[in-house]
Amino acid sequence: MKGFIFLAVFLMLGCSQQSKELSIDEIEQIKNEIITRSEKHASDLENMDYESVMTFYSKDLIMFGDGYYWGDYLTADGVWKDILGEDGWEEMLKWDLQNHKIHVHSRDAASYLVEFDHEHLVENGDTIRSSGSFTYGMQKFDGEWKAVTAHVTHIPVRTDDEKWWSKYSPSNRSK
């Protein structure tokens, strides 16, 4: 009897997995939706539009940054209010994203990694530059992709010579 139950569960899971497989076109569509959503988020940051920035995050958000647990949605809310509010940065000069890497898990779940470079002005007129990467767990809610997990790593802007590991990256490997 236990063998029959195991077989029945195995067959049900196997059949449901096959029916949930995504086509290459569906995967590409999801990747494009996530990149478009992320680029809008970057544009909202450049425009210092706090309300729009916060729509990128799920209310169930979990955040880590620079090696530490930062918190949840309310943490992101506080961080962006400080940065984008009246007493925050003077002006966002740029927020560029590159090297979008997405692994689609299902129609409503994906892992998303992306590098960023950004510059902003502070009150004394200095320009602050940094770069780094974001890792997001993305989930689709009511037709809209939102970050449910976020990890950010900030680093000082580096030259290509300082990216010692880059000789091993796919774009620099000899064929």
| pTM of the predicted structure, to 2 decimals | 0.79
Beta strands in the chain (DSSP E): 57-65, 68-72, 91-106, 109-121, 127-141, 144-155
Angle, CA of 73, 78 and 79, to the nearest 5°: 95
pLDDT category at 114 given cuts 50, 70, 90 is very high
Residue-wise pLDDT tens digits, 57-113: 999 999 999 888 999 999 999 999 988 887 777 777 889 999 999 999 999 999 999
| CATH topology assigned to domain 22-160 | Nuclear Transport Factor 2; Chain: A, (3.10.450)
Report DSSP state, residue 47. T
pLDDT given at position 118: 87
pLDDT category at 134 given cuts 50, 70, 90 is very high
* List of residues 6+ apart from 50 with CB closer than 8 A: 80, 81, 84, 85
Residue 96 bridge partners (DSSP): 117
The rounded distance, in Å, linking the Cα atoms of 133 and 66 is 10
pLDDT given at position 90: 77
State the chain's maximal CA–CA distance in angstroms: 75
Mean pLDDT of 132-138: 96
The rounded distance, in Å, linking the Cα atoms of 19 and 63 is 33
Residue 125 main-chain phi, psi, to 5 deg: 95, -5
pLDDT given at position 16: 42
Domain spans of the chain, in order of start: 22-160
What mean pLDDT is reported for the chain? Answer: 84
pLDDT given at position 20: 67
